Structure 1
Amino acid sequence: MFDRPQADAAGQPDRLTLRILATTDLHMHVLGYDYFANRPAPHLGLSRTAALISRARDAVPNCLLFDNGDFLQGSPMGDYLAEASEAGNRRIHPAIAAMNALDYDAATFGNHDFSYGLGFLRRTVEAAGFHYVASNLSVSKPLPSVPELILRRRFRDHCGQPQDLRIGVLGFLPPQTVEWEPGLKADARIEDILTAARAGISRLRAAGSDLIVALSHSGIGALEPAPMMENASTALAALPGIDVVIAGHTHRVFPAPDHPAGPGIDTARGTLAGKPAVMAGFWGSHLGIIDLDLQREAGGWRIAAATSRAEPVSGTEDHRAVATPALAAHRETLRHFRRRVGRTERPLSSYFTLIGNDPGLRLVAMAQRWHVRHALRGTRWQGLPILSAVAPFRAGGRGGPQH
């Protein structure tokens, strides 16, 4: 499963294998636990993905590990920690502690990383032992991130000799993030992904990068470029100077037989516009693996061959160094969400919420309306009609039971 690629047997001094590993859309699933079902989830969580990371590194020592964003929000533990931070609890965030334990090389932001506000995000990533790269983001009060990054790494070639490489890294998130998170509008500007990429490529190449990896928190969409694309990973891969694309945002697995094909999208070879690419699902369900066979020529290193795959999590054992920093927050989250807030005489579910009346959602809507009505008492708005909008956390369908 994680064997050294066949190219390693060549024993050539000007060839080396570089393995790129990637996670994406973890959404605060540090542990393999389903808080909504209140039970362990055996095939999810960074603590489970960590076992794949360890085995992949053992097989190919020349390794880089990246995270592609949306790590901070998306589970009850994430919500609880954000509330605790507002109450004054400023411990190192378990997601960052876990990623530090795994020795990530770099990461980028996703749109949901801004859901709790810039202040919370800033405090969280200040403790990261790796760089965050945000190439199309600018904020009034800078985050601890850089627009581009060069990783200087010493790898071993096929003869065991050391070779120094400079790996350029760019990171992107959807421009629509400022619309989805209205609180960002006054403090942030998010540039078109392709426009920012062209500028970043130019700077990285001028600085001597041997390869450029794009951390694209963006889905796999059209090959033809368009302004302000949300799902720009295919068009991004087509830009001259981009060598590898890590995609995300849409919670798909690529390459995979069921991934939609299209111009520039090769679901069998795992390429976008001919460049090696991967998308590693969501919630720690998969580990993205790209193996590059690099050859040194007069002009520098080039990709002679590449393979891409998304390896699913299969074990149920937690990686101790990753799980331990999250255990206290996990127990606190369980206590918080197991509090009794009411009693129902019949079961509530969201099985058919998309096609009919959902008593569970109706209960949530009533509770929201009750809360707002009481909050408005004594104000000039107390007589206004109250609209309560609700949506299911899960509705199943083609996205599966976790969707």
Structure 2
Amino acid sequence: MKRIKVIIPVILIISLLLIVLNRTDAKEIMESSLRLRILETTDLHSHMLGFNYKKNKPNLEFGLAKTASLIKQAREEEINSLLFDVGDVLVGSALDEYVDKTNYMDDHYFHPVFKAMNGLNYDAATVGNHEFNHGLDFLHKSLQGAKFPYVNANIYIDDQNQYDGDDLNYFNPFLILDRNFIDTNGNKQKLKVGVIGFLTPIAAEWDKKYFQGKLKIKNIQDTAEHFVPIMKKMGADIIIALAHVGLNPDKGLKEKEGNSVYFLSEVEGIDAILYGHTHLIFPWKNLYSVKDETGTINGVPAVQAGYWGNHLGIIDLELTKMNGNWLVNSSQSMVKPVFQTIKGKSLPLVNEDDKIVKVLEYIHLEIQKFFETSK
């Protein structure tokens, strides 16, 4: 009986200690939480205004000036946000044709697209395959006008030897943004946001004359597996991938394995993927290969925002700080259109942003004159 009496108090003491320890651990684990909204534009193809220059009339269905109004709304809805572009911004419209045929960049420092984009305070961007269509000199002169950084991790200088260990990146492979955000309690929180960029290797085939003997594009998944741990070691709390490649590999690509968003989503340590290239939207409820309504691929939040500025891509992350580490607790991806179709008629959902319209007013008139005299 004495032995039993001794054991019972010991059990009670241990139980009380465990309760105290659990309460202490809970305080240490849950340090803070915040909401972060990540915004994406992609495949703008230099469509800055909603205007068809060859028909000389407005178009309600596209243009960054319209997307800018959605960006403004999205920022007003959430206190913490970041904005990125995922490539194919320079080439593919009447504006591009005007810039190319008039040798516009010979006399101007700024490419017209950056007159518009700089006013939206992008945090970073990556290049698309069409950025290389006019050659490397044109690309670099154009990008000098961007007041935000460009990153790409899988384009390398071709040193024409067989040893990969000494290969040099053509762009900065990644960056780490130091940002101050407001948590759910109204307190400031410092967050180190890693941003890394990728391009489909098929670009080296499509613009072979500019790549051959100068640049090479490596496997996306392999490159990510190399750089993501480095970014983590350098202090990145979360990592966002900007991928100018489709959910599936390009059809004409020789090496398909590892070269798609699906393969990229398998890389441990990536917290969100913004992608483009194929002019589709994601999440899309009828996409047979991805059924998650929150918009994840292999559990990684992802978004693709169509083309020409017809949609804004949004990923909302719920972040929790536990034991000093920020973790993605939940997410929701969505795309917002600039127009809707009712009974076969396109109707605008937003107006063009006045600031972008004003900053492009002169170039808009010049492009109109150019096509009028070209008839």
Distance in 2 of aligned mates of 1:168 and 1:57: 21
Superposed counterparts of 1:1-400, under 5 Å: 14-85=32-103, 88-139=106-157, 145-184=171-210, 185-221=212-248, 227-228=255-256, 232-258=260-286, 260-262=287-289, 265-266=290-291, 268-314=293-339, 315=349, 317-339=351-373, 341=375
Contact map agreement 2:31 2:323 (CA 8 A) in 1: no
Q: Secondary structure at the match of 2:122?
A: coil
The structure whose RCO (Cα within 8 Å, separation 6+) is larger is 2
Change in 2 beyond 3 A, CA 1:140/1:227: closer
User: What 5-or-longer segments of structure 1 have no aligned partner?
Assistant: 1-11, 342-403
Contact map agreement 1:13 1:158 (CA 8 A) in 2: no
Distance in 2 of aligned mates of 1:22 and 1:71: 13
Contact map agreement 1:173 1:218 (CA 8 A) in 2: yes
Distance in 2 of aligned mates of 1:235 and 1:340: 46
Corresponding residue of 1:347: none
Contact map agreement 1:175 1:228 (CA 8 A) in 2: no
Distance in 2 of aligned mates of 1:320 and 1:186: 45
Instruction: Indicate the larger mover: 307-316 or 14-23.
Output: 307-316
The Cα of 1:112 is off from its aligned counterpart by 0.5
Counterpart code for 2:229: S
The alignment of Structure 1 onto Structure 2 pairs a total of residues equal to: 324
Q: Could you give the per-residue CA deviations for residues 251-279 of structure 1, whole angstroms, max 9, x where no partner exists? A: 00111224x321xx235221111111000
The Cα of 1:13 is off from its aligned counterpart by 6.0
The Cα of 1:334 is off from its aligned counterpart by 1.7
Q: Secondary structure at the match of 1:338?
A: helix
Distance in 2 of aligned mates of 1:167 and 1:87: 33
The Cα of 1:140 is off from its aligned counterpart by 6.8
Q: Secondary structure at the match of 1:14?
A: strand
Distance in 1 of aligned mates of 2:43 and 2:240: 18
Change in 2 beyond 3 A, CA 1:140/1:333: farther
Distance in 1 of aligned mates of 2:336 and 2:105: 39
The Cα of 1:48 is off from its aligned counterpart by 0.4
The Cα of 1:316 is off from its aligned counterpart by 5.1
Q: Secondary structure at the match of 2:66?
A: helix
Q: Secondary structure at the match of 2:190?
A: strand
Q: Could you give the per-residue CA deviations for residues 301-344 of structure 1, whole angstroms, max 9, x where no partner exists? A: 00111000001013452212222232222222222222354xxx
Contact map agreement 1:18 1:62 (CA 8 A) in 2: yes
Change in 2 beyond 3 A, CA 1:82/1:322: same
Change in 2 beyond 3 A, CA 1:340/1:112: closer
Change in 2 beyond 3 A, CA 1:293/1:233: same
Distance in 2 of aligned mates of 1:70 and 1:340: 26
Change in 2 beyond 3 A, CA 1:144/1:155: farther
Distance in 1 of aligned mates of 2:282 and 2:47: 20
Distance in 1 of aligned mates of 2:350 and 2:92: 21
State which structure, 1 or 2, has the greater radius of gyration over its C-alpha atoms: 2
Counterpart code for 2:321: R
Q: Secondary structure at the match of 2:103?
A: helix
Instruction: Indicate the larger mover: 310-319 or 56-65.
Output: 310-319
Question: TM-score under structure 1 normalisation?
Answer: 0.76
Distance in 2 of aligned mates of 1:86 and 1:328: 13
Higher helix share: 2
Contact map agreement 2:86 2:275 (CA 8 A) in 1: yes
The Cα of 1:61 is off from its aligned counterpart by 1.7
Contact map agreement 1:261 1:267 (CA 8 A) in 2: no
Counterpart code for 2:322: E
Q: Could you give the per-residue CA deviations for residues 75-115 of structure 1, whole angstroms, max 9, x where no partner exists? A: 01112112333673224112112111000000000000111
Question: TM-score under structure 2 normalisation?
Answer: 0.81
Q: Secondary structure at the match of 2:355?
A: helix
Change in 2 beyond 3 A, CA 1:285/1:165: same
Instruction: Indicate the larger mover: 326-335 or 114-123.
Output: 326-335
The Cα of 1:70 is off from its aligned counterpart by 0.3
Contact map agreement 1:193 1:228 (CA 8 A) in 2: no
Counterpart code for 1:95: V
The Cα of 1:122 is off from its aligned counterpart by 0.4
